[in-house]
């Protein structure tokens, strides 16, 4: 089984450096263009299914991809972005002032996020209906996967994932293996 992880396209809050979390923000014009670039690139391979977070920015990205690839689209609640509690909507500067220690009140723990995301991977793997799947999700979700699978060599706290970047996972010999990650060569300047 192969999974292509796609981070959603840009939103106005991404552009402004605001933490989105569960706040449901749509793609901006750049984000829509990025989704189209992803779809154009991914058409070259025989993907069978697109799975997405239910949040609008991921869903819009996934809809563009699924439509151009002419494959089914399914929402998975387990792929929703990490909840950042009282820090959602704040810029980096505002977060630094309000939470100088970096501990956001009411935030979903990293452990809980990782557990939730790996439950999603298990469900995806167990379904066995599709072998080549695209998963459209969020920065923290994808980084949690990358960190857990590489013993924190990349991912959470180490990798800043770009909007509409592509990363690859393969299930081989009873374990998930990370291939290329944070790829943006498919995006037009």
Out of 10, 78, 81, 108, the active site residue is 81
CB within 8 A of 56, min separation 6: which ones? 24, 25, 26, 27
**Residue 138 falls in the annotated catalytic set:** no
Closest CA to 6 of 127, 162, 156: 162
**Residue 81 falls in the annotated catalytic set:** yes
DSSP, res 82: P
Q: CA 179 to CA 171: how far, in whole Å?
A: 11
Question: Beta-carbon neighbour count of residue 124 at 10 Å?
Answer: 23
DSSP, res 132: E
Q: CA 20 to CA 146: how far, in whole Å?
A: 20
Q: CA 26 to CA 5: how far, in whole Å?
A: 19
Out of 8, 10, 83, 88, the active site residue is 8
Q: CA 176 to CA 5: how far, in whole Å?
A: 13
Catalytic residues: 8, 81
């Amino acid at each position: 089984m192969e999974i292509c992880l796609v981070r959603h396209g840009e939103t106005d809050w991404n552009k402004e450096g605001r933490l989105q979390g569960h706040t449901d923000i749509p793609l901006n014009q750049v984000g829509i263009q990025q989704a189209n670039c992803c779809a154009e690139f991914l058409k070259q391979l025989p993907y069978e299914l697109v799975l997405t977070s239910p949040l609008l920015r991921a869903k819009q990205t996934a809809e563009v991809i699924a439509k151009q690839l002419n494959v089914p689209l399914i929402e998975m609640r387990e792929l929703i972005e990490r909840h950042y509690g009282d820090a959602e909507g704040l810029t980096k500067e505002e977060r630094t002032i309000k939470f100088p220690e970096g501990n956001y009140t009411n935030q979903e723990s990293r452990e809980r996020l990782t557990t939730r995301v790996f439950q999603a991977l298990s469900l995806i793997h167990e379904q066995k209906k599709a072998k080549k799947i695209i998963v459209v999700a969020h920065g923290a979700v994808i980084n949690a996967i990358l960190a857990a699978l590489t013993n924190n060599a990349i991912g959470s706290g180490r990798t800043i994932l770009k909007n509409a970047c592509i990363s690859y996972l393969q299930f081989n010999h009873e374990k998930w293996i990370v291939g290329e990650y944070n790829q943006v060569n498919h995006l037009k300047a």
